[in-house]
Structure 1
Amino acid sequence: MIEVRGLTKRYGDVLAVDDLTFAVRPGEVTGFLGPNGSGKSTTLRMVLGLDAPTAGTATVGGRPYAAQPAPLTVVGALLDPGAVLPSRSAFHHLLALAAGNGLPRRRVDEVLADVGMEKAARRKAGTFSLGMRQRLGIAAALLGDPPAVVFDEPLNGLDPEGIVWIRQLMRSMAAEGRAVLMSSHLMSEMELTADHLIVIGRGKLIADMSMKAFIDMNSEREVLVRSPQAETLRGLLATAVDVRTEKDGALVVTGLEAAEIGALAAAGGVELHELSPRQASLEQAFMDLTRDAVEYQAETKPGTPTETMTETGASR
């Protein structure tokens, strides 16, 4: 298990991580979310012993990363897929890591096969595409067969087959009882992959709950309604929080349940062709919750397609 307790990190006057506490439990894929500048990368670096905390602790299996005698057998991590000598082959990169952690040579061949890189094993890493570097980084994370893994943006550069593969890999590792921590900005994939969510903003914990609870709590339910008497129905729905019309004429209603809309339509003699509750998305729930925690926000000027970046705070 990965445990973070009161973790704090200052860079001069910038408070990058502010008294953060959470746990990544075995048997779950835990999604780690936050806007740019929220402190995610700094937190991961402290978990992996790359940065020293100003206060608090980060442990894996009850011990700090630096205190692990063979760290790759305790936690595997992918933070930077480019962290490999470009002149070194995939095989020899992994062989060096194995030697440093007391792992047998056969593990190198095994993880290369696991990530589909047998044919590229002797190629120099400098010739790899971003997707191939990602696969090599994932192979390195799996090398010690660790009970905990940390993936920072593991989907970058992967093609559709690779995205499905890494999603299934993380789900299978959790099913084996491993603790899996995944950070990504791809909300659709996070929604398909994660069981639990840790959300931070400006270095502070915002949410620590299951995926379902997070979506239910932080997004409004919508109901899609189709009717040949849409305008009449709109008038009957004046009590709804929001009614908007889609391009095809359908109404999207927020603030009323489907049964309530159906009852109003029946009472008003309005014919309905469709009445479908819409499942809220992780993306919308995340954006609604973190709206006030965004460090850098694009503002679209009225009447133009261009965007300007407005700095709203320091970022690390």
Structure 2
Amino acid sequence: MIEVKGLTKRYGEVTAVNGLTFTVRPGLVTGFLGPNGAGKSTTLRMILGLNRPTSGSATIGGRPFVRHRAGLRHAGALLDAGDVHGGRSAAAHLWALARGNGLPRRRVGEVLREVGLEGVARRRVGGFSLGMRQRLGIAAALLGDPPVLLFDEPVNGLDPEGVRWVRGLFRRLAAEGRTVLVSSHLMSEMEHTADRLVVIGRGELIADESVADFAARGTGASVTVRTPDPAELAAVLVEAGARVRHDRASAGAGVLTVTGLSADRVGELAFERRIPLYELAPRAASLEQAFMELTAAHADHRTSALKAGGQAGWRDDGSSAASRSGARKEGV
């Protein structure tokens, strides 16, 4: 378990993390989210003892990580896939870590097989693609078979098969009773992978709750209705205070998108007016929309599209979609 209590980090007059308190429990995949400059990386580094907090504490298994001997047996982490000596082979890199933590040599081969790099174990890391480096970083995190795992942007550079593999890996690790904390700017990945979310902004806690509860706080919830009498139903719903959009691009005629009323209330009104319904489906707000709405006031940099309520183009690591598309795809 990871416990963060009143964690604060100041750099001169700048406060990167301010009184942060949360707990990451075993058996769940916890997503760690926040806008650019929110303090996520600083928090992860303090949890791992790489940065010293100004005040407060961060513990793994009830103790600061630096007090654990053979640290990889207690926690594994991927913070920067590029932080590897390019002249070493994948196997040599992992063997150096294993030897320094008193781990058996066989673990090197086991984790290389686990991440799909067994066939390139003797290749120099300098020739690896970004996706291959990510897999190597995950292998290093798994090396000590630890109960606690932390990953920072683990799917960067992975192809679709690799992304699906990572999702399954995190779920399996959590199902084994491990504590899994994943920092990512990809809302779609958190929707598919995380059970809970810890969301911060400007170093302060915004939310600590399930993915479903967080998404429900967004304003984008709607109801899709299909009926042979769309005009009549739309008039009834508008009279009841709803906002109604007729989906004329839909393949089926008579499809309405309703906001401002629950699916139950839409069904009740249709029943009272004896208007038949062929479909009545609630649509929850997307995680991305809820995230953007709830963190807008905490973002250091906001595009004009975001200020106007748009979503395109924003990335919480400050990178653009175009810059990411230029990264080399996974080579295994």
TM-score with structure 2 length normalisation? 0.86
- Alignment partner, residue 11 of structure 1: 11
Q: How does 1:105-184 map to 2 (within 5 A)?
A: 105-184=105-184
Secondary structure of 1:224's aligned partner:
strand
Bigger strand fraction: 1
The answer to whether the 8 Å contact 2:153/2:184 transfers is: yes
The answer to whether structure 1 residue 253 and structure 2 residue 258 are counterparts is: yes
What's the offset of the Cα at 1:271?
4.4
The answer to whether the 8 Å contact 2:216/2:284 transfers is: no
CA distance in structure 2 between the aligned counterparts of 1:259 and 1:25, rounded to whole angstroms: 35
The answer to whether the 8 Å contact 2:215/2:284 transfers is: no
CA distance in structure 2 between the aligned counterparts of 1:252 and 1:240, rounded to whole angstroms: 14
- AA in 2 matched with 1:24: V
The answer to whether the 8 Å contact 2:130/2:156 transfers is: yes
Q: How does 1:256-295 map to 2 (within 5 A)?
A: 256-268=261-273, 270-295=275-300
Secondary structure of 1:237's aligned partner:
helix
What's the offset of the Cα at 1:220?
5.2
Unaligned segments of structure 1, at least 5 residues = 310-316
- Alignment partner, residue 189 of structure 1: 189
- Alignment partner, residue 37 of structure 2: 37
Secondary structure of 1:209's aligned partner:
strand
Secondary structure of 2:199's aligned partner:
strand
CA distance in structure 2 between the aligned counterparts of 1:174 and 1:14, rounded to whole angstroms: 36
Kindly report the root-mean-square deviation, in angstroms, between the aligned alpha carbons of the 2 structures: 2.2
1:223-243 Cα offsets, whole Å, 9 max, x none, are: 101234433332221233432
The answer to whether the 8 Å contact 1:7/1:55 transfers is: yes
CA distance in structure 2 between the aligned counterparts of 1:266 and 1:27, rounded to whole angstroms: 44
- More divergent stretch after superposition (292-301 vs 124-133): 292-301
- Alignment partner, residue 27 of structure 1: 27
What's the offset of the Cα at 1:221?
3.2
- AA in 2 matched with 1:189: E
What's the offset of the Cα at 1:266?
4.1
Secondary structure of 2:304's aligned partner:
strand
Secondary structure of 1:52's aligned partner:
coil
1:210-260 Cα offsets, whole Å, 9 max, x none, are: 222222344553110123443333222123343234333732112212232
CA distance in structure 2 between the aligned counterparts of 1:127 and 1:278, rounded to whole angstroms: 45
- Alignment partner, residue 240 of structure 1: 241
CA distance in structure 2 between the aligned counterparts of 1:291 and 1:301, rounded to whole angstroms: 8
CA distance in structure 2 between the aligned counterparts of 1:122 and 1:301, rounded to whole angstroms: 47
- More divergent stretch after superposition (145-154 vs 34-43): 34-43
Cα distance change on mapping 1:301 and 1:53 into 2, 3 Å: closer
1:194-223 Cα offsets, whole Å, 9 max, x none, are: 111111111110111122222234455311
Secondary structure of 1:8's aligned partner:
strand
The answer to whether the 8 Å contact 1:29/1:196 transfers is: yes
Cα distance change on mapping 1:308 and 1:254 into 2, 3 Å: closer
Cα distance change on mapping 1:278 and 1:96 into 2, 3 Å: same
What's the offset of the Cα at 1:268?
4.1
1:120-147 Cα offsets, whole Å, 9 max, x none, are: 1000101111100000000000001111
The answer to whether the 8 Å contact 1:240/1:254 transfers is: no
- Alignment partner, residue 325 of structure 2: none
What's the offset of the Cα at 1:73?
0.8
- AA in 1 matched with 2:258: V
CA distance in structure 2 between the aligned counterparts of 1:154 and 1:308, rounded to whole angstroms: 21
- Alignment partner, residue 327 of structure 2: none
- More divergent stretch after superposition (215-224 vs 2-11): 215-224
CA distance in structure 2 between the aligned counterparts of 1:261 and 1:147, rounded to whole angstroms: 48
What's the offset of the Cα at 1:150?
0.0
Secondary structure of 1:157's aligned partner:
coil
- AA in 1 matched with 2:277: L
Secondary structure of 1:297's aligned partner:
coil
TM-score with structure 1 length normalisation? 0.90
Secondary structure of 1:191's aligned partner:
helix
The answer to whether the 8 Å contact 2:220/2:286 transfers is: no
How many residue pairs were aligned?
Answer: 306
